[in-house]
Amino acid sequence: QVRLVESGGGLVQAGGSLRLSCVASRSFFSINAMGWYRQAPGKQRELVAAFTSGSQTNYADSVKGRFTISRDNAKNTMYLQMNNLKPEDTAVYLCNAVIVVGAGPPQSYWGQGTQVTVSS
């Protein structure tokens, strides 16, 4: 298992920036995949950015060029730098980790989420 704690959300004007953090309770080297998702009211949860195999990254088209995912393995912390924020970025942002143990199925874990609100 892994516990994930997000922070860094808040209220910001359009064009502003925020940096989200996700601290994991175990080493990243024991986690198979990690990423950021978001969920706006009345909408489905969607992938924002993620680390795929190795250090490769994947971004939603809507955030490419504005958001950057990164991590500090020594601190078991993943970040999401969000620049040039838009009102449509308003959502609860959640950290996700996927762990595979042996031949078992992937286990997905979620943080509690952090609210990001962008005013126009």
Q: What pLDDT does 37 receive?
A: 98
Over residues 88-101, mean pLDDT: 94
Over residues 13-34, mean pLDDT: 93
Q: What pLDDT does 69 receive?
A: 97
Over residues 106-111, mean pLDDT: 94
Q: What pLDDT does 80 receive?
A: 98
Whether residue 88 is predicted with pLDDT greater than 90 in this model: the reply is yes
Query: What is the rounded distance in angstroms from the CA atom of residue 42 to the CA atom of residue 59?
Result: 22
Whether residue 103 is predicted with pLDDT greater than 90 in this model: the reply is no
Query: What is the rounded distance in angstroms from the CA atom of residue 36 to the CA atom of residue 43?
Result: 16
Q: What pLDDT does 59 receive?
A: 97
Over residues 60-75, mean pLDDT: 96
Q: What pLDDT does 1 receive?
A: 87
Confirm if 95 and 4 have CB atoms less than 8 A apart: yes
Confirm if 79 and 93 have CB atoms less than 8 A apart: no
Query: What is the rounded distance in angstroms from the CA atom of residue 17 to the CA atom of residue 15?
Result: 7
Q: Which residue has the higher pLDDT, 100 or 54?
A: 100
Torsion of CA 21, 99, 28, 16, to 10 degrees: -20
